[in-house]
Structure 1
Amino acid sequence: MTLPRAAQICYRAGCTRTVVRAGQCGDHAPAPWSRTSARNSLRHAAARRVWERRVRPQALRRDGYACVWCGSQEALTVDHITPVSRGGTWDLTNAQTLCAGCHRDKTAEDRAL
């Protein structure tokens, strides 16, 4: 016969609540497992830095500082042709310059697929 374990108290200083997970109460417990690992998020952050510093200026220059859909030169953004979430890359071949309106329309199309 085994005896039930005694309730434990959260190990955070000053907290007297009962442990829920990982030695901590509900307020201090770590967030549940997420879909991306720390390793992948670091890769994503590094790719984003390269995109902002290198690819984005090259795409703007290549596209003549104008939207490739409508030709506008106002409120320009550099967009992934194929979204990264769908297998797109972070390189210049997957970049295009769009104005804010065309970018909004393209994003709506991407989400509809």
Structure 2
Amino acid sequence: MKKTNKDSPKINISEEEKTKQLAKRYNVPYIDLSSSPIDRELVQSFPADFLHRSNFIPFEKNENTVKIAIADPSDIATIDAIESHLGMEVEVYATTRRAIHEASGHGSSKRRASRGIS
């Protein structure tokens, strides 16, 4: 009897698990944005459409470095554009698209209220 894809068991991997695997593959840390403070002023220094289109959010700025959480850590073009925009080095962290969406203020209002994001 011939096996088809229907016979194969489905493995359902969460978005978070996929992102953690991606982070490991590209040797960048995974970050849970729900427990990380977000620098609102830093976020507002980027056009909202660029943040949304590129699936990233900057969350911390030091003297010479900006930390960003991005859904696709292999997106060198976006990382280069961020460095160019800020004139600073970027430290890349991986996170889920959902976490970026929620941290940027587009997630559920209940979650935003609990984290103090308006």
Provide the TM-score with structure 1 as the length reference.
Answer: 0.26
Between structure 1 and structure 2, the one with the greater Rg is 1
- Considering fraction of residues, name the structure with more strand: 2
